[in-house]
Structures are given as structure tokens and as C-alpha cells.
A and B are shown apart, each in its own frame.
Chain A
Amino acid sequence: MWLVRPAQPDDLDQILAIAGTQSARLSSTLPKQSDALAYKIEHSLASFAGKISTEDDPPRFLFVLENTGTGEIVGTAGIDARAGNGQPFYNYRRDALIHASHELGVSRRVEVLYPSHSLTDNTLLCSFSIRPELRESDAFELLSRARILFIADHREWFTQRVTVEIQGVQLDSGSVPFWDSLGRHFFDMDFETADQYSGQLSKTFIAELMPPNPIYVTLLSEAAQEALGQPHPMTVPNFELLQREGFQPGCYLDIFDAGPVLEARTDSLRTLVTSHPKSLHAANRDLGETCLIAAGERDQFRCTLTPVSETLEDTLKVPVNTWKVLNKTAGDRVRIAPL
């Protein structure tokens, strides 16, 4: 069975392996360095335990997708309770100005990218990665949506709005048109190098070196203009899943690759709205509609897929196998959401 649970120190090597297979991505919050990742896991565990509440280093949660049969880790997903993690969270806001002259009788719409910190402190879904072969599977949906179930059960830890950054356009050669047309001029380094620094230091660190003034879209290269707000083809399944969840692309873009930034009102997320707390009971048969089921508070949180044979009022009947994966027993409270 597929299980989503908090990342543990023992998972370090397997997570590193997953991070290593990812192509360069500045926006990734999954470090590729062992030390940085070890710290992230440690910080995540403290966050799950409810021990982290400081403003300058807010809670960050890292989940893993485990194949319970083999014990193998095949994906990761994260939530940063406050985007920017106590530092400014950088985006470009795509906006427009009308340059008009009454005297000359002309008017022209001019698109401008404004550096913005507006999304700072929103809850951020991040660190999403999964084995390529699982991209079309139920496990993919489980990994992504398990986070929303966690938010549903720990609502007070998160903010009114949730943000997700989607990876932008990157060519097969590894070059990123938006970076090449903009960021590269200010760093004198290619995307991959900047990405490495971003992993070692922080995204904010790199972002603070970006030009502070607004950028006229018309002065970007054509390839860069075409990439604005476009998801990387590889991320399209995730993009679509998030849109079904209720996330919408707004006016914000990633400052490095111009990938879309999605936003949603936390309380309107589909998983949050359609999920219900139930009490756990045994089902006789291993049949029924497959649903997401989550249980356990804080660091005991676990989420998996299960067939549901019957739901009556407050009662939920699922196979005992599912109980075991969730570490729960009859009568315990769980949360269920349709797949």
C-alpha cells in the first residue's frame, strides 16, 4: 500500500536520491545536500511535534510517500506554514500600465513585472517530487492531497490562503528562457549554477540579488515572453490536479523561471470541503470506492488510499489492513475524502 507520513531521519538517503533525479529548479525547496536535507527533516519533525512556532523560522513540514510493501520512499511533498520562512518571499506580479497621450491620440497597454512580497507568509505547498513512473497514478494524487488533509486537521497552523509554485519552462538543454533573458545578466551564471547556490543558501538569498526595479515584458526575449506563466510540460499533471483542487493561477510568477504561482483560499480547497471526520470500523470485504483516508495528529499523521465499503453517518467501514497502515484501531477518528 501507499502511505504518506512525516519524513524521518532514516529516510535521508532515499530522499536525496529522489532530489538528485530532479532537473535543476531554483524554486525547489528540496535540498540536494545531505546536511541541508538532514536539517530540513529535523526541522520538519519538530514542526510536526508542534515545537516550532517562532516567527523567524516558522514550521515546515516534509512528507514522504512510502511503499509499505517494500519500505521504499518514492516521493516527497512539503508544506511551509509561512512562505518565505521568515524571510521575504519573492515573486513577480504581472501587471499592466496604459501609456496614453491625449494630445497624440494614442494609448498602449504595457505589461510590467513588479517584484512583489505580497505572498510572503501565505501557506505554501512545496517540495513536491515523485518517481516519474508514478506521475499518472493514484499515488500521485495521494501524495499531493494528503497535505490538504493534514491542513484540514491542523487548520490553526495555517493561514487563510495557500500558494503553490509550479515549475516554469526549461528547455531540454537545461537552459531556462526567462532566466537567460533576465536573471543571467545580474549573476553572470547559468540557471543550473544559480540553482545550486539556491539550494545551498536560500531562494531568498538569490532573489535579493535580482534587479529591484520593475521589468518591461516587451524588453524580454520572445522565448522568455512566451514562457511567462507557462508550466513545465512535466508538471502539467500536477498543475491540473491543483486546479481541480481549487487553485487558480493569478498574477504572480516565479522570479527565476516565470512559472505560474497558484493561489487558493484555504477553506475553499476541494479536499478540505469534501472531506469528513468519521470513526473507524471494520469492513468485511476488500471492496468499494477508493478514497483518501488520513488519521493521526501531528507527528502521528498518516494518510493512505483505501477501499470504502460503507459510510453511514459517523461510521466508516474500511479493511483492517488500512487500520494497520494508519496505526489506528476501531472507534478512532479518521478523515476521509473521495479520490
Chain B
Amino acid sequence: MLVIRPLQENDLDDLYTMAQNAGKGLTTLPADRELLEKKISHARETFNQRCAPEAGLYLFALEDTQRKKAVGISGIQARVGLDEVFYNYRLSVAVNASKELGVHVRTPTLHLSNDMTDTSEICSLLLSDEYKGGGNGLLLSRCRFMYLDDFHKHFSEKVFAEMRGVSDGQGRSPLWDALGAKFFDMEFSEADMLSGLGNKSFIAELMPKYPIYLPMLPDSARAVISRVHGNTAPALRMLQAEGFNFNGLVDIFDGGPVVEAFVHNIRTIRESINRHAMVIRKSVNLDVPADERVMVSNRSFRDFRVTTLPMHCIGPDTVSLPPEVADALQVESGDPVRLAPLKESGMLTKHIYRSSVPGGASKWQS
């Protein structure tokens, strides 16, 4: 069974292997043992509420319970830009117009901004290749939205994600080559690596502060602004299905887009429902296709756990949990749990309409 749970100290080896296999481009999780160890301990302190809420780093592991191995990771940073400065470029348009000259020219312009400061970021998503498919990536990503809503006091109203921008097979970024490299004598891959090691704001401080008029950049660089890397396109589509939209900000290095959504508008949250757990003796075939499964979370701040189970387990007031699922979630009969669709098929909605009784306890979350 695959279960989401808070990242733990003994996940370090698994995490390191995953980071090594991921290669370049994953700036938030470089293959650096010391740094990963620090991140884990930061996450531990966050879940145990031993650090200030705004400094929180929530890292979740996807564990294969049979192999007792972490096979994926995803995270939420409670607030960005408080400790160090968080930079983006805002893509805006300046119009140069003169009736006398018959001129009306639009000039797309990049303005350096710190607009995302104090906003929660979903980050650090990584899944082992052998576990890709079957809705595992969706679980890893979407479980975070249930957490964001259940503990919304710890997060901002808006949440965003930085999407990886375009780079080629050699790790060269057309935007970096046309802009960043002119100010900072370094290859993109190296700058990217330094960013992951926590030097991003230092590098940002070496970057141009004045607006950049895009017509002055080569076509190759202009073409990649607000575009995602091919490997990131599925992640972008997933977030778009959740209601995330490009907010006009791009990464200052590779031009990758920032997408954002208000937490209460995220589809997973809107379509989630609360039930009480009912542990049953009967065994349930858990091995059903992803679009027939739902996510179920134990709603615990300290020991947040999420797994999936077949949709038919949902009753009007309760959800039936076979013992191994209850075990994995660490819940007993009567404990509150939260359910949300794993895929955007709308099946849960239909199911709920069918099974809800008038005046019943089923409640829509808002």
C-alpha cells in the first residue's frame, strides 16, 4: 500500500537516492546529503510545532508500506521570502503610443518583483520512476491541498507553485544564456544548483534590477518566457485542473511560470467531503483503477496520513475502512477523515449525490 506521511529522519537514504536520480532541474531538492538532512530536520520541527508557523516547511513522503521505503516526496513551504528575498520577474506590457506618429507599439517588459513574499508555496515534488503512473503522482501532489485547507491558519489564502522552465538536454536555458549569464558569469546548471543550495537570493542580487525590455532579447529567449519544460507539462496540466492559473510572474533564471490559486477555490478542496471512519472486518480489494479511488486523509497536523481506497467504501455518514487502511491512517472507528477525488473524473460528486440522504450528515467543504 502507498501512504502519505510526514517525512522522517530515516528517509534520508531513500530521499538522497531519489534526488540523485532526478538529476538537474529540481532546484528545491539537490542531491546533497547535508542539505537534505537539514530539510528533514526542518520538516520534523515544523510538524512538531517547534518552529514559528511562518518558517514552516512541510515535507511529506510517499511510503510503500510493504517495502518500508520512501518512494516519493512533496512539500509545502508555509511562507516564502521572509528569511531571504524571493524574486520573480513580472511579465507586463508597456505601450508606446503617439497619434501624430501613428505609433502604437506594445513592449513586453520584465519587472523584478518580490510579489510572492509571504505566500505559501507547494514545492519539492519528486516521485521514483518505478512508481510513476496509477495515480501515485496525483496522490503525492493533491494530498497537500487537503492539508492546506485543514490547517489553513498556518498558510496564506493563496498558494503558488513555480514551474520548471525550458532548458535543453545539456541543461542550457535560453533565457539564462540571454539574460542571467550576461550579469553572472555562470552556466545555468551551475546557477540552478547554487539556487538549490540556498544561494538563489544571492544570485538574484547580482541580476539586473531595472526592467528588461523583451524586444532587446533574442527570439530564443523570448520564446521560453512563461513556458514550462516538457517534463513539467503534466504537472502544469494537473495544477490547471485544480484551478491554478499563470499569475504573470516568471522565474528569474529560466522564465518558468508561477501558477497560483486561492486555497478555497482548489478543486480538490471544493470536492472533498468529511466522514467518520468505520473500521470493517471484511477485506476490500484495494487494487482498483485510479479513477475509481478516492484519497482519504486522517486530518492530523502532526502525523498527516493519506492513502487511497475504492469509492464504493463511502457511505452517507461514514467511510468503510478495511483494517490495513485504518492501520495505515492510524485511525479508529469514529475518527473524522476527509475524502477527495484522486482524479478529476467527477466520480466522487456523482457518487455523493447518489448516496446522500436528505438531511444527512454529508457536508460540502467550502
Binding site for B on A (CB under 8 A): 99-101, 103-104, 106, 108, 110, 112, 181-182, 185-189, 197, 201, 205, 209, 211, 213-216, 218-220
Contacts and interface: CB of A to CB of B under 8 A. Distances in A.
B277 to A, nearest CB: 50
A94 to B, nearest CB: 14
B210 interface: yes
B105 to A, nearest CB: 5
Contacts of A215: 213, 216
B206 A100 contact: yes
Interface residues of B, number: 29
B101 to A, nearest CB: 6
A185 B213 CA distance: 9
Nearest to B205: A101
Contacts of A219: 179, 182, 212, 216-217
A197 B98 CA distance: 12
20 contacts: A99-B183, A99-B207, A100-B206, A104-B203, A104-B206, A108-B185, A112-B210, A182-B216, A185-B215, A186-B107, A187-B103, A188-B103, A189-B101, A197-B101, A209-B101, A211-B96, A213-B109, A215-B213, A219-B216, A220-B216
Given A186-B96, A189-B101, A209-B96, 14 more contacts: A99-B183, A99-B207, A103-B199, A104-B194, A108-B185, A185-B107, A186-B215, A187-B105, A188-B103, A211-B94, A211-B213, A213-B211, A219-B182, A219-B217
A216 B185 contact: no
B131 interface: no
B246 interface: no
A108 B208 CA distance: 11
Contacts of B100: 197, 201, 205
Contacts of A216: 182-183, 208, 210, 212
A213 B98 contact: no
A189 B103 contact: yes
Contacts of B212: 216, 219
Interface in B88-124: 94, 96, 98, 100-101, 103, 105, 107, 109
B202 interface: yes
Contacts of B182: 216, 218-219
Contacts of A220: 216
Given A186-B107, A201-B100, A213-B210, A103 B183 contact: no
Nearest to B194: A104
Contacts of B86: none
Nearest to A194: B101
Given A101-B202, A104-B203, A209-B96, A214 B105 contact: no
A260 to B, nearest CB: 22
A216 B184 CA distance: 14
Contacts of B207: 99
A216 B96 CA distance: 20
Contacts of B213: 185-186, 211, 213, 215
B183 A211 contact: no
Contacts of B185: 106, 108
B103 A110 contact: no
B103 A106 contact: no
Contacts of A182: 216
Closest 5 CB pairs of A and B: A185-B215, A218-B182, A99-B206, A103-B202, A214-B210
A186 B210 CA distance: 17
Contacts of B205: 99, 101
A205 B101 CA distance: 10
A189 B98 CA distance: 13
B211 A209 contact: no
B183 A110 contact: yes
A221 B28 CA distance: 35
Contacts of B96: 186-187, 209, 211
A182 B217 CA distance: 11
Interface string B324-354: 0000000000000000000000000000000
A181 B203 CA distance: 27
Given A99-B206, A101-B206, A213-B211, A188 B105 contact: yes
Contacts of B101: 187, 189, 197, 209
A181 B216 CA distance: 7
Contacts of A187: 96, 101, 103, 105
A101 B183 CA distance: 12
A189 B100 CA distance: 14
